[in-house]
């Protein structure tokens, strides 16, 4: 993780002989699972102009409120630096300056919100709940612009008779294209790749480089699962690659070390539970008294992984907290 912000995630954990180490797991984004809504109004092809017709430069901020989940966040403009060193205009989540945000995903959502042209107009309807637009339903969007004006609308269910979703704007219902990121968790805007330790290379006399072997310089296991803490590291023995030094002194099975290297070199979360975690959050997910703590150095790069409560096959986890 790039920053030292307390950050609780969930990850699949594989148990091997020496204990629990975090395994890489990437889950694809969930598909829209909304039921198709049945229209009771008269549908006509829309000849209306764009409902929201602004540019990125017009946007001061965008408020997104998930009415059903009682959750909200705010999208704000920002600048990022490209690989060539240039700056470019994009969007981020307010208050997440210290987190590893996937800016392109936030921009993808923002671009669909400040410029909306309906594919169909349904008009005024009696029962908004048929469209996922009733009280306490849908996603309320508040567009605030740099000129001091604003626009508000609500996005509801996926449309049944056409691609897109239902939108309530100025008391009329439309079908509009919607970014898939709107109906996912705000935490999907965070990079879940937490640890990626480069494999060392060997440079030949002709200047060509080849991958070498990754090594765990040292590893210490503690926590509830380890009443006797375990410590091991590189061996000076000509035959053995690693030695256990605590709680006993012994040589190690190199095959089991290969499992540790694979799991600890690249750690990717399945999801995010909390950011800017408070002490209450840490206790809530069992990270105040971890099941396991893995403190290790690989290829001279140091990390600490803490595992908390388990739900199904997933553990809550913190990586390199502050």
Q: Cβ distance 7 to 308 under 8 Å? A: no
Structural domain boundaries, residue 234:
7-26+194-319
Residue 44, pLDDT score: 46
Degrees to nearest 5, angle at CA 264 with 261 and 269 = 145
pLDDT 10s digits, 7-39: 677 665 433 323 333 322 223 333 333 333 333
Q: Is the dihedral angle over the CA atoms 11, 14, 18, 22 positive or is it negative?
A: negative
Sequence-distant (≥ 6) Cβ neighbours of residue 283 within 8 angstroms: none
In a domain, 2, yes or no: no
Domain end, chosen from 189, 208, 231, is at 189
pLDDT 10s digits, 131-179: 999 999 999 999 999 999 999 999 999 998 768 999 999 999 999 999 9
Residues in the chain: 322
Other Cβ atoms closer than 10 A to 182 = 17
> Which alpha helices (H) appear in the chain, and where do they start and end?
103-113, 254-265, 279-284
**185 and 48 both lie in a single domain:** yes
Counting as low any pLDDT under 70, the low residues of the chain are 1-7, 10-48, 162, 322
Q: Is 296 helix (H, G, I), strand (E, B) or coil?
A: strand
In a domain, 166, yes or no: yes
Total number of domains in the chain: 2
Q: Cβ distance 144 to 150 under 8 Å? A: yes
Buried b (16+ CB within 10 A) or exposed e, 132-156: bbeeebbbbbebbbeeeeebebbbb
Phi then psi for residue 277, to 5 deg, are -60, 135
How much is the pTM?
0.77
Can you read off the two tokens belonging to residue 39?
């229209």
**118 and 66 both lie in a single domain:** yes
Residue 279, pLDDT score: 94
In a domain, 270, yes or no: yes
Residue 322, pLDDT score: 54
Domain end, chosen from 189, 206, 233, is at 189
Residue 180, pLDDT score: 93
Domain end, chosen from 154, 172, 189, is at 189
Classify the phi-psi angles of 229: left when phi > 0, otherwise alpha if psi is within -120 to 50, otherwise beta. beta
**66 and 136 both lie in a single domain:** yes
């Amino acid at each position: 993780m790039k920053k030292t912000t307390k950050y609780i995630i969930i990850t699949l954990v594989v148990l091997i002989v020496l204990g629990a180490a975090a395994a890489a797991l990437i889950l694809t984004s969930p598909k829209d699972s909304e039921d198709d809504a049945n229209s009771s109004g008269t549908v006509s092809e829309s000849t209306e102009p764009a409902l929201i017709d602004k540019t990125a430069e017009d946007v001061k901020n965008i408020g997104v409120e998930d009415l059903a989940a009682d959750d909200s966040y705010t999208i704000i403009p920002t600048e990022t630096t490209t690989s060539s060193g240039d700056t470019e205009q994009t969007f981020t989540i307010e208050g997440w300056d210290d987190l590893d945000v996937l800016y392109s995903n936030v921009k993808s959502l923002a671009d669909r919100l400040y410029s909306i042209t309906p594919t169909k107009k349904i008009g005024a309807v009696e029962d908004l709940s048929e469209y996922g637009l009733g009280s306490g339903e849908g996603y309320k969007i508040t567009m605030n612009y740099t000129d001091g004006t604003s626009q508000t609308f609500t996005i509801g269910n996926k449309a049944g008779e056409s691609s897109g979703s239902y939108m309530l704007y100025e008391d009329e219902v439309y079908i509009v294209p919607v970014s898939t990121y709107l109906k996912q968790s705000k935490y999907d805007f965070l990079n879940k790749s937490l640890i990626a330790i480069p494999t060392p290379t060997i440079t030949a006399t002709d200047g060509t480089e080849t991958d070498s072997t990754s090594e765990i310089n040292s590893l210490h296991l503690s926590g509830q699962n380890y009443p006797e803490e375990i410590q091991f590291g590189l061996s000076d023995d000509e035959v053995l690659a690693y030695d256990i030094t605590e709680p006993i002194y012994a040589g190690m099975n190199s095959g089991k070390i290969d499992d540790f290297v694979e799991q600890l070199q690249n750690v990717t979360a399945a999801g995010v539970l909390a950011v800017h975690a408070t002490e209450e959050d840490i206790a809530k997910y069992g990270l105040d008294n971890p099941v396991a703590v893995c403190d290790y150095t690989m290829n001279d790069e140091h990390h600490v992984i803490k595992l908390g409560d388990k739900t199904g096959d997933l553990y809550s986890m913190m990586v390199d907290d502050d």
